A and B are shown apart, each in its own frame.
Chain A
Amino acid sequence: MRNEEMKTSRFTYKFNQEGATYLYNSLTGLDSVMKVYDKNLQEEIRNHLEGNTIEQPNPILVNLLKEKGYLVDGDTDELKLVESKKQKLLTDEKLTLTLIPTSGCNFKCVYCYEEFKPIMMSDKTIEDVVKFTEPLLKGKKVLFVNWFGGEPLLALDIMEKLTAALRELCRTKKVAYFAGVTTNGYLLTIENFKRLSACRVIDYQVSIDGLKEDHDRLRCLKNSKGTYDVIFKNLKRISEEITGNRFSISIRCNCLKASKEKREEAETIFYENFGNDKRFSITLHAVMDWGGDSVNSLRSELLTQEEEIDLLTEALRDKSEKRMKKLTHLNVLDSRSNSCFACKTDNYVIGADGSIYKCTSDFGKPLGNVSDGRQPEEWYDISKQTELKEECKDCAFYGACMNTICPKALKEGKLMCPVEKDCIDSLIGSMGKEYFNETLPGLYVYRKE
């Protein structure tokens, strides 16, 4: 019998699919995912979660349900636990800087929202960035730099200069240093990849918007020439010629209404080229209106949220052999990767001219400049937003989301839920056997890669 003083966690999510019972707890995250085929265990789990009397409970199962957060002490205030988890997440031991070494770009993407004048970061600004960073490292264990643009690879020499200076600073402060880059991939040649690796760049995000004809229309060079072939060749060479597992490349596929019919074909191409390379993953997103005028030409082609959910659900349910096995969407089940970096207290975006922002889609009035020699103005401090929104009160996903998906939306008084929340069944159901260990006969528990 389950302990009388235990209760079922409000963040428990349970569903049945293809003969299996799946369990997920949004407070404990991805680690909690369980898949149960054994009928007796399914029945016992149901009884535990419904608080029914069980004559001879399986002690291993009971412990597992407690350990994974499905059964909690009766007096546990789970909302308090979420708040504490949120505060910890927003003020962790990592300083994140999104650095824009140049605001210039070689692309003219149809949906781009940036309206910067193309400038390169000067030596003086590089110095100021380092000075600005120094006091922020106090109490931190890691500095993570996310290179952004414009197109950052147009300023690779500036990235190298700034990396050297920041790594030296980290050395003196005994802080670890790592970096990621969001690049259009056009200049991501083997030679440049090696230079980036030497700059400790370990995470790469490259956009390929579906099939060649669609990508070339949406993401062309300034002279309107297509870019698909060059990007694809660059990624293929990296996959074939670079050894080692110390990096990952996420292919971001920005989708429009027409993507629904073409997804399978596009994914087959990705699979055939990168499907066996665990360092590559794919992520599907709707083209969003992040502002600016250029997106207006695509207005009628933008996916509604329902259409985006449909697209993702279909992609997740696709069990064909030729689909990318590694979907970064699973990260959404975990609050650490679910949250937007802009929520974090110790996060700054620094433009090529030294302007300081908090969010890469809120390039309005800067909060200051690294040359000011003082702390920037406060943006929207999500750590102070402790009141639970009405819409979140009964949401089983709140333990992972914690209202940290889009602080810009919250700042504007809107609520943004992750699109994956509406297709959790498909998302968890898409996890193959490689994600699980069999803990009891017929009961599988998520295992970390």
Chain B
Amino acid sequence: MDKKRQLMAEVFNELGIDCTISADNDLNLQEFIADSFSFINFICTVEEKYGIEIPDELLTYDTIQSLNGFLELIDAKEVKPA
């Protein structure tokens, strides 16, 4: 499993959410992050773990429809190191 997916597994562990992240599976993260509190908590934890800042304009609930899509977003150039 690559480092980014490993970190995502750690994020979920830290949030106390039970879900399996393997080397290549995709998940609809909205199934695990169902409300606005959980969403902002998730985003803050991702930023802490990855050492990045996600711009506000990318912070819509739709961005977590897919784990793979979200990981691509983290890779995107708009996301800069904190």
CA distance A252 to B21 in the complex (A): 46
A171–B41 contact, CB under 8 A? no
The number of inter-chain residue pairs (CB within 8 angstroms) is 38
CA distance A198 to B48 in the complex (A): 8
B37–A243 contact, CB under 8 A? no
B14, B37, B47: which contacts A142 (Cβ < 8 A)? Answer: B37
List the one stretch of A13-21, A111-119, A173-181, A346-354 in contact with chain B.
Answer: A173-181
B40–A176 contact, CB under 8 A? yes
Chain B nearest CB: distance from A312 CB in Å?
30
Question: For residue B20, which residues in chain A have a CB less than 8 angstroms away from its CB?
Answer: none
CA distance A244 to B38 in the complex (A): 20
Given contacts A243-B53, A246-B44, A246-B47, contact A174 B35 (CB under 8 A): no
Q: Is B71 an interface residue (CB 8 A)?
A: no
Q: Which B residue's beta carbon lies closest to that of A167?
A: B14
Q: Which of A381-431 contact B (CB under 8 A)?
A: none
CA distance A176 to B74 in the complex (A): 22
Q: Which A residue's beta carbon lies closest to that of B47?
A: A246
Q: Is A141 an interface residue (CB 8 A)?
A: yes
A171–B15 contact, CB under 8 A? yes
Q: Which of A143-193 contact B (CB under 8 A)?
A: 170-174, 176-178
**Total interface residues in chain B, CB < 8 Å:** 17
A177–B15 contact, CB under 8 A? no
Given contacts A171-B15, A174-B16, contact A245 B56 (CB under 8 A): yes
B53–A171 contact, CB under 8 A? no
Q: Is B7 an interface residue (CB 8 A)?
A: no
A141–B35 contact, CB under 8 A? yes
Given contacts A141-B37, A141-B38, contact A174 B53 (CB under 8 A): no
Q: Is A200 an interface residue (CB 8 A)?
A: yes
Q: Is A31 an interface residue (CB 8 A)?
A: no
Q: Which of A98-122 contact B (CB under 8 A)?
A: none
A243–B82 contact, CB under 8 A? yes
B15, B37, B82: which contacts A244 (Cβ < 8 A)? Answer: B82
Q: Which of B52-82 contact A (CB under 8 A)?
A: 53, 55-56, 80, 82
Q: Interface on B for A, CB 8 Å cutoff?
A: 14-17, 35, 37-38, 40-41, 44, 47-48, 53, 55-56, 80, 82
Q: Which 6 A-B pairs have the closest CB atoms?
A: A176-B41, A174-B16, A142-B37, A244-B53, A176-B37, A141-B37
Contact sample, A vs B, 18 pairs, CB 8 Å cutoff = A93-B37, A94-B37, A141-B37, A142-B41, A170-B16, A171-B14, A171-B15, A171-B16, A174-B15, A174-B17, A176-B41, A177-B41, A178-B44, A198-B48, A243-B80, A243-B82, A245-B53, A245-B56
Q: Interface on A for B, CB 8 Å cutoff?
A: 93-94, 141-142, 170-174, 176-178, 198, 200, 243-246
